[in-house]
Chains A and B, each alone.
Chain A
């Protein structure tokens, strides 16, 4: 060895593999304005479509007159439900087993529902056309309050379901009922409540909000009449699923449908499902023979494409007087709006809400969910969430605080007392999940020590005393949240979308010079897959991450994947990548042994190549093996170095975390100040700590927004009153608190690299931390639960209702 020989550390560092804070390769184009988004696409002769939308929340459509619109220069066509009926597309299936109007068919069911699609030579002409379409409506009574939807005399919303006593998920109890879903042992749970020393019961609402990605939903559809092929560029989080759905509803053969997701400016669940805009643009392209672009504006995005949450959770816990939980009972009223357009795995009408037992060892639990229709936009999607896990985490974390208050116990202490213990993993929850791994006590204690939890409680006690003496108008709250997520959907035994198992996939091709391409079935919307996927491969096969190009989103080139949402990419696609890389390495080992003239078992892996056991100088680098794969493979072996892996995960993964929010509130104005927010995440093996930190910052900012003001609110007539960023709380850097992040590492035992996924954890765990902080602040004044969002005026109202101004 001479001095130029790189050390092991240098060879390792050169790979920029797992564990490296590798800079995001996609940022080179994003920070220079060189990203390629759907709206950047301009095809020759491209037309533009835009919607006439309903001003009413519930009305009969008496007449649509397009005479004047068609006279507008540039307007070519006005498509209505009647047009779509000729191709049997006036309605479309939803991922949740319901059907949804593409364009208003006889009536409208929510404000801003799509009524007609105007196609024109440019966007301005399309909008001019919209303003000339005359629609005659006959307003009908509206149902906005979910608690009134199943009143006996509630207006009938879905006339298309008349007489249908059962839907995709079993019997329907009422004309505005979608489904009932029950899990758990009712009798055992009822018995636990009968025997309990202490019980709590509270209706916890998780209000309706919206993922509101920076880039709205959009597509360009181009139908080639000669070839009979349909190309769709769109903001799709799951491009292959879109291709299959289009094949199923359009009857165009699937190989003649090309779906391409270019760069996507955030999805957060908003871009999983199929929307009327996609269907209308495709039909318009088929009719006109020209490419048609449809791009939502912000108001349309907030008011028409999928919302999130709107879960109203009546929650009860049974416990002993010492604070051991003995039973959990939850009933959810789930407001789906006009159509059940959830984007959950098909057999899960309430997603994975049965993770609601959280991080605690509940001996028994029972859950029932009633889905209902109202005159609101359809949904709801998983907003940075693994299918209703955010709602479940909020439910249990808020309820644990309420129980602590009733018991007169510290909420952190109550949690420590009831955590599933490290030795109980794999743990079988009362509602049917098998938690893979965890060490909750260690994470919780680390959080408490880092922030000096005991010291903060002392400070709070002093401030409360000063408040009662009239010396201050500020109150202080500590919001503890300890969440367990369930992500990585999912095993084919229980997860599918429209019958397609929720595996994911990777194809790796190594080129002769030692560089390669990896194509993956996931689709980044900002998560940084091009960076992290290459890091997994770098570590697995010893090729620098910079020499691996990652490609996603083109259904013609990427292997079939179920897309990116629900924190599933690392648990599922990440595993497929590692498995494909291992296939590459296995073949490389045979080539290396042949070239080194030793038996395969006599060589071993060493960072970036193979070496002969006992003879460390005798090596062959992976780069050299790539070359050899194209000219001198062992006799009988096929040349080339490629691998494909389809990974069906054996189980979900269960990331967890301990969060705390320290907040002061001025009772006179309701203005809050987040003094400190500490987030400890355990997502198993950490692929890129910098990207994890970025993900946590982003998710916490969303959690902050949701808990402290972000909502889609309707007035009694069904008008959306928060339909723009003036009123829909989208915090800027100025409002956003400072985030402190930390971690523990408890690898997933069943995942090839032990990674669990992290993207959604901060949203899931953050919301209860904020809400618990507000509730904790007010608790000494006698309140039990204050509903979200906790914006200024509602905090003031809470103070007023508690007699602070008396």
Chain B
């Protein structure tokens, strides 16, 4: 539980950080909250030669409304998200989810940027970002680009980030007024990753589902958008047969690994239940 030797850098500007990362290449890793990277380093599963600490970089923190979008700086902590009334009012699902991430101590350090950029299938925010149609701003030596959360995740710990690039902010279109939402997560204990989790954002019209998106956490190598499951519920009043159909459609795209949380069959079964429960709870909240 002792990391190998590494050099520590603390740039003050984004340009400096990007420059360090591109110059130092593969042997450098950006350090945000450190709650994924540092334990890996202690186990020597990761041995970067350089750590580029982003805490001194100006402008990477904060929550702003820009037109019909909410823009969250990558270094904003989960705790800061929870403390924001703006988020509470316009994106309450972020609060519900952040409260299910680890424990208060971790949330004081853990950042939203680290959570979405690391590509860990166990992280909770990525599936949510897909459901919310969020996009990530990636900045590198050759400039900035926006990538949809939906296109960002390529495999476990593999993302669209190019070497030397940093994820600097997340923009989330404001969901429709009166939308219903829910994040359902089954975990064994505080601090655990999900056995299975599902994020739902939907709107209702005349007692029937008008729009719906369903995201899945820790049920594959990447977060998943359960499109067939969402299609199955549109136009329905979420009757038991529909819910069953949606759960089955969601289960069909899940491919979790067997681990101490349970065998594959159990984790998929729980995934289906999380989808069902999230749909029901979201519908109950829709105005």
- Chain A residues proximal to chain B, CB less than 8 Å: 50, 123-124, 126-128, 131, 297-299, 668-671, 709, 713, 721-722, 726-727, 729-732, 734-735, 791-793, 796-797
From residue B183, how far is it (CB to closest CB) to chain A in Å?
Answer: 16
Question: Of the 9-residue stretches B71-79, B112-120, B185-193, B200-208, which lies at the interface with chain A?
Answer: B185-193
What are the residues of chain A within 8 A of B195 when measuring CB–CB? 792-793
What are the residues of chain A within 8 A of B191 when measuring CB–CB? 726, 732
Contact between A792 and B262, CB atoms less than 8 A apart = yes
Question: Of the 9-residue stretches B12-20, B52-60, B138-146, B263-271, which lies at the interface with chain A?
Answer: B263-271
The residue in chain B whose Cβ has the minimal distance to the Cβ of A725 is B191
From residue B272, how far is it (CB to closest CB) to chain A in Å?
Answer: 10
What are the residues of chain A within 8 A of B186 when measuring CB–CB? 669, 671, 792
* A127→B43 CA distance, assembly (Å): 11
Given known A-B contacts A732-B103, A796-B262, A796-B269, A131 and B188 have beta carbons under 8 A apart:
no
Contact between A131 and B262, CB atoms less than 8 A apart = no
User: What are 26 inter-chain pairs, A to B, with CB distance below 8 A?
Assistant: A123-B2, A127-B2, A127-B4, A127-B44, A128-B4, A131-B4, A669-B186, A669-B270, A670-B266, A721-B260, A722-B260, A726-B191, A730-B189, A731-B189, A732-B103, A732-B191, A791-B188, A792-B186, A792-B195, A792-B262, A793-B195, A793-B261, A793-B266, A796-B262, A796-B266, A796-B269
Contact between B1 and A298, CB atoms less than 8 A apart = yes
The residue in chain B whose Cβ has the minimal distance to the Cβ of A733 is B190
What are the residues of chain B within 8 A of A124 when measuring CB–CB? 2, 5
* A442→B195 CA distance, assembly (Å): 45
Given known A-B contacts A792-B262, A793-B261, A735 and B2 have beta carbons under 8 A apart:
no
Contact between A128 and B5, CB atoms less than 8 A apart = yes
From residue A218, how far is it (CB to closest CB) to chain B in Å?
Answer: 13
Contact between A669 and B188, CB atoms less than 8 A apart = no
What are the residues of chain A within 8 A of B87 when measuring CB–CB? none
- B214 is an interface residue with CB less than 8 A from chain A: no
Q: Which of B2, B44, B273 has a CB less than 8 Å from the CB of A668?
A: B273
From residue A374, how far is it (CB to closest CB) to chain B in Å?
Answer: 21
What are the residues of chain A within 8 A of B266 when measuring CB–CB? 670, 793, 796-797
The residue in chain B whose Cβ has the minimal distance to the Cβ of A708 is B188
* A793→B256 CA distance, assembly (Å): 14
Contact between B44 and A732, CB atoms less than 8 A apart = no
What are the residues of chain B within 8 A of A793 when measuring CB–CB? 195, 261-263, 266
Contact between A734 and B2, CB atoms less than 8 A apart = no
Which residue, B4, B186, B195, B266, has most C-beta atoms of chain A within 10 A? B266
* A722→B1 CA distance, assembly (Å): 16
* A713→B259 CA distance, assembly (Å): 12
Q: How many A-B residue pairs have CB under 8 A?
A: 56
What are the residues of chain B within 8 A of A730 when measuring CB–CB? 189
Contacts A128-B4, A797-B266 known; list 15 others, CB within 8 Å: A123-B2, A126-B2, A127-B44, A131-B44, A297-B1, A669-B186, A709-B188, A727-B259, A729-B188, A732-B103, A735-B190, A792-B186, A792-B262, A793-B195, A793-B263
Contact between A299 and B190, CB atoms less than 8 A apart = no
Contact between B1 and A299, CB atoms less than 8 A apart = yes
Contact between A734 and B189, CB atoms less than 8 A apart = yes
What are the residues of chain B within 8 A of A797 when measuring CB–CB? 266
Q: Which of A50, A669, A732 has a CB less than 8 Å from the CB of B190?
A: A732
What are the residues of chain A within 8 A of B192 when measuring CB–CB? 726
- Chain B residues proximal to chain A, CB less than 8 Å: 1-2, 4-5, 44, 103, 186, 188-192, 195, 259-263, 266, 269-270, 273
From residue A582, how far is it (CB to closest CB) to chain B in Å?
Answer: 49
* A106→B266 CA distance, assembly (Å): 43
What are the residues of chain A within 8 A of B5 when measuring CB–CB? 124, 128
The residue in chain B whose Cβ has the minimal distance to the Cβ of A666 is B273
From residue A128, how far is it (CB to closest CB) to chain B in Å?
Answer: 7
From residue B109, how far is it (CB to closest CB) to chain A in Å?
Answer: 18
* A721→B195 CA distance, assembly (Å): 16
From residue A734, how far is it (CB to closest CB) to chain B in Å?
Answer: 5
From residue B267, how far is it (CB to closest CB) to chain A in Å?
Answer: 8
From residue B207, how far is it (CB to closest CB) to chain A in Å?
Answer: 25
* A730→B266 CA distance, assembly (Å): 22
From residue B15, how far is it (CB to closest CB) to chain A in Å?
Answer: 33
The residue in chain B whose Cβ has the minimal distance to the Cβ of A126 is B2
Contact between A727 and B273, CB atoms less than 8 A apart = no
Contact between B188 and A792, CB atoms less than 8 A apart = yes
What are the residues of chain B within 8 A of A726 when measuring CB–CB? 191-192
What are the residues of chain A within 8 A of B263 when measuring CB–CB? 793
Contact between A734 and B4, CB atoms less than 8 A apart = no
What are the residues of chain B within 8 A of A735 when measuring CB–CB? 189-190
* A124→B266 CA distance, assembly (Å): 42
Contact between A734 and B190, CB atoms less than 8 A apart = yes
Which residue, A721, A726, A730, A797, has most C-beta atoms of chain B within 10 A? A726
Which residue, B2, B4, B263, has most C-beta atoms of chain A within 10 A? B2
* A50→B2 CA distance, assembly (Å): 11
Given known A-B contacts A669-B186, A669-B270, A735-B190, A727 and B260 have beta carbons under 8 A apart:
yes
What are the residues of chain A within 8 A of B269 when measuring CB–CB? 796
From residue B275, how far is it (CB to closest CB) to chain A in Å?
Answer: 13
The residue in chain B whose Cβ has the minimal distance to the Cβ of A713 is B260
* A672→B196 CA distance, assembly (Å): 17
From residue A731, how far is it (CB to closest CB) to chain B in Å?
Answer: 6
From residue B85, how far is it (CB to closest CB) to chain A in Å?
Answer: 26
What are the residues of chain A within 8 A of B262 when measuring CB–CB? 792-793, 796
What are the residues of chain A within 8 A of B190 when measuring CB–CB? 732, 734-735
What are the residues of chain B within 8 A of A50 when measuring CB–CB? 2
What are the residues of chain A within 8 A of B189 when measuring CB–CB? 729-732, 734-735
Which residue, B191, B192, B260, has most C-beta atoms of chain A within 10 A? B260
* A669→B103 CA distance, assembly (Å): 23
What are the residues of chain B within 8 A of A734 when measuring CB–CB? 189-190
The residue in chain B whose Cβ has the minimal distance to the Cβ of A805 is B269
* A793→B261 CA distance, assembly (Å): 7
* A791→B270 CA distance, assembly (Å): 14
What are the residues of chain A within 8 A of B1 when measuring CB–CB? 297-299
Which 8 residue pairs are nearest across A and B when measured between Cβ atoms? Answer: A793-B262, A127-B2, A297-B1, A727-B260, A793-B266, A734-B190, A732-B190, A735-B189
What are the residues of chain B within 8 A of A126 when measuring CB–CB? 2
* A727→B261 CA distance, assembly (Å): 8
What are the residues of chain A within 8 A of B103 when measuring CB–CB? 732
What are the residues of chain A within 8 A of B270 when measuring CB–CB? 669
* A797→B44 CA distance, assembly (Å): 36
* A793→B195 CA distance, assembly (Å): 10
What are the residues of chain A within 8 A of B4 when measuring CB–CB? 127-128, 131
The residue in chain A whose Cβ has the minimal distance to the Cβ of B43 is A299
From residue B188, how far is it (CB to closest CB) to chain A in Å?
Answer: 7
* A123→B42 CA distance, assembly (Å): 12
The residue in chain A whose Cβ has the minimal distance to the Cβ of B44 is A131
* A131→B260 CA distance, assembly (Å): 28
From residue A593, how far is it (CB to closest CB) to chain B in Å?
Answer: 62
What are the residues of chain A within 8 A of B260 when measuring CB–CB? 713, 721-722, 727
From residue B51, how far is it (CB to closest CB) to chain A in Å?
Answer: 15
From residue B120, how far is it (CB to closest CB) to chain A in Å?
Answer: 13
What are the residues of chain A within 8 A of B261 when measuring CB–CB? 792-793
The residue in chain B whose Cβ has the minimal distance to the Cβ of A128 is B4
The residue in chain B whose Cβ has the minimal distance to the Cβ of A736 is B189
* A497→B273 CA distance, assembly (Å): 55
What are the residues of chain A within 8 A of B2 when measuring CB–CB? 50, 123-124, 126-127
* A50→B1 CA distance, assembly (Å): 11
The residue in chain A whose Cβ has the minimal distance to the Cβ of B258 is A793
From residue A53, how far is it (CB to closest CB) to chain B in Å?
Answer: 13
From residue B9, how far is it (CB to closest CB) to chain A in Å?
Answer: 19
* A123→B5 CA distance, assembly (Å): 12
* A668→B247 CA distance, assembly (Å): 13
What are the residues of chain B within 8 A of A713 when measuring CB–CB? 260
What are the residues of chain B within 8 A of A709 when measuring CB–CB? 188
What are the residues of chain B within 8 A of A729 when measuring CB–CB? 188-189
The residue in chain A whose Cβ has the minimal distance to the Cβ of B272 is A668
Which residue, B5, B259, B269, has most C-beta atoms of chain A within 10 A? B269
* A668→B266 CA distance, assembly (Å): 10
